[in-house]
Structure 1
């Protein structure tokens, strides 16, 4: 748990859906992060990249009450994960879209396939790659949904993808569509897949920033006392 320990082994803080005025009213994933980071209580703290924070809020609200406390060990991992590098927006979009694409509904698959192609186009420009280059993960994800992939290619043909438009519209839409797609998917354990989506997205973002120190363990203990704890 990133060097943090609760007062009682096997106990995790209670995380709740939605936005809360203070810890005694409840705490969502990002509100808990704001407290650990020493910031003003908020579900939009400055310590985390806005798009990554959006993924965390959506997963927090979509996952079941039973599983939500198991997200808590991931909270310290988002603190300090922020960058102005647009590659972080691309990394988040590619990860969530590739994770959700195989299990999402047909309508959402189209949105996610377009998002992958748009993100790869941005990466073409940023990394001076040949137009139409795909990462292995994107190619594998699209190959699993050939109908949606072809629809997306037809839709995107001739369309221009600007960085500003991607960051403002395409990336947030992909994040929302991916989380909703997993949450509503006909799979045996959507909670596990939502957890994996968030964990892998955090890992991808962490690869793009400098290593950071861990939050003060005392603040973790204080936050747990405020929110209450649950045994898992």
Structure 2
């Protein structure tokens, strides 16, 4: 995780697409592996993110269709359920997408991946974080500021010497 720290230093901005692409990244990463209950919530979240992202992407449109398609190809019954659910609700398209909505999607994803019965939960969570940082960089541009030098960890003998000083 420490290797990712330099990539977020200076990465900031108030572009409304950030919360959408991060929530969408989380939902699409989690959909194939989380429990059925979480899958339904994430599938609705994916459709919601995709719709709202299309509305706010006036400059530098972000194509998420492959990302969405890949996730739904891994959970086709859940996609079908979510589309039927969204169609039956009707007024869902007028709802706002807030920070709280994004936080809920991300929380459900992280918890769902952590609790999934799969052998690579840590790797999936790391990849999710790394991909989300890449998505933010795509939206906001490269971080501003001076390059960050990441210190190398001390060897055990160097650490013991440093503690004696």
What TM-score do you get using the length of structure 2 for normalisation? 0.78
Structure 2 partner of 1:170: 101
Shift, 1:79, TM fit: 1.7
1:141 to 1:171, Cα distance in 2 relative to 1, 3 A: same
Q: Does 1:96 align with 2:26?
A: yes
Specify which of 54, 65, 70 is matched with residue 135 of structure 1. 65
Q: Give deviations 1:110-149, integer Å, cap 9, x for gaps.
A: 1110110001110222247xxxx97121022112112211
Shift, 1:162, TM fit: 5.2
> For the residues of structure 2 that align with 1:162 and 1:146, how far apart are their CA atoms?
26
2:26/2:105 contact within 8 Å kept: yes
Q: Does 1:198 align with 2:129?
A: yes
> For the residues of structure 1 that align with 2:66 and 2:79, how far apart are their CA atoms?
15
1:216 to 1:144, Cα distance in 2 relative to 1, 3 A: closer
The structure carrying a bigger helix percent of its residues is 2
Structure 2 partner of 1:213: 145
1:89/1:171 contact within 8 Å kept: yes
Shift, 1:215, TM fit: 5.3
Structure of higher CA gyration radius: 2
Q: Give deviations 1:190-209, integer Å, cap 9, x for gaps.
A: 11111111011111111122
Give the unaligned 5+ runs of structure 2.
160-165
1:101/1:113 contact within 8 Å kept: yes
Structure 2 partner of 1:52: none
C-alpha RMSD over aligned residues: 2.4
1:187 to 1:138, Cα distance in 2 relative to 1, 3 A: same
Q: Does 1:146 align with 2:51?
A: no
Structure 1 partner of 2:163: none
1:122/1:162 contact within 8 Å kept: no
Which structure 1 residue ranges, 4+ long, deviate > 3 Å from structure 2?
A: 213-217
Structure 2 partner of 1:125: 55
What TM-score do you get using the length of structure 1 for normalisation? 0.57
Q: Give the number of the structure with larger relative contact order, counting CA–CA contacts within 8 Å between residues 6 or more apart.
A: 2
Please give the secondary structure, in 2, of the residue aligned with 1:80. coil
Q: Does 1:159 align with 2:83?
A: no
Count how many residue pairs are aligned between Structure 1 and Structure 2: 146
1:107 to 1:206, Cα distance in 2 relative to 1, 3 A: same
Shift, 1:83, TM fit: 2.0
